[in-house]
Amino acid sequence: MFRRFLPKIKAASNVVLNLTTGGAPTMAIEERLQPALQLKPEVASLNMGSMNFGLYEMLNRHKDFKYDWERPYLAGSDDRIFKNTFKDIAYILESCSANNTRFEIECYDIGHLYTAAHFLDRGIVKPPLFIQSVFGLRGGIGPHPEDVMHMKRTADRLFGDQYQWSVLGAGANQMYIASMSAVMGGNVRVGLEDSLWIGKGQLAKTNADQVSKIRRILEELGLEIATPDDARAILKLKGGNNVNF
């Protein structure tokens, strides 16, 4: 499935393409690994711990579902664990080490930062670390400004100048937390994977809606948007010509 669209995006744009190793909590680790292992992207996501991953509260917000699988999938999430053991994390990192893929290290809680530091100490990941702090998902750290600041303070203490910080705010928290990160010197992630909204009660039509909105906010704050090649330089990526698609 990835091979059906990745070459088209690469041919049409200079963007950095980031592939998931998270997949879904219902997938085995071997299945989740395959896109990053086989396609050798510049960046791939990697979750830093096992956690409860509750989406069941969405059942109270929506009455009509388009597909038969949606309601039971959400309902079953109150008994679902997103498994990422130390062994799983090491397996993904070591399997992809020859690919020179930089990992988007996803940290849903403070302990995940310490796990990232553990793998840095073991030499299994190399700086600069790309730390993506995730806020507002049930089972992880909350979206309060104090949570955002605590995550940043802890990452600064653990990694110093060996990392780049970015944030992901789930749902209605998306733009608030992105703006906080930018003011604190961090980077931002937006998109329909993380939030379906463009404003209160208003669904975003495309990922581009959210990208355009956060760009406007950041530029109004006097900040400059990195180009893809700027991002490659900041994260020390291997370049778009060194992928397997």
In this predicted structure, what is the pLDDT of residue 26?
84
- CA 72 – CA 60 distance, rounded (Å): 13
- CA 120 – CA 181 distance, rounded (Å): 23
Segments making up each domain of the chain, as ranges: 2-49+84-242
What CATH number is given for 2-49+84-242 in this structure? 3.20.20.70
Q: Is the pLDDT of residue 168 over 90?
A: yes
What's the whole-model pTM score?
0.93
* pLDDT tens digits, one per residue of 124-136: 999 999 999 999 9
What single letter denotes the amino acid at residue 98? A
Going by pLDDT thresholds of 50, 70 and 90, the confidence category of residue 187 is: very high
In this predicted structure, what is the pLDDT of residue 212?
97
Phi, psi of 212 (to 5 degrees): -65, -40
Q: Is the pLDDT of residue 146 over 90?
A: yes
User: Positive or negative, the Cα torsion across 12, 15, 18, 24?
Assistant: negative
- CA 224 – CA 188 distance, rounded (Å): 12
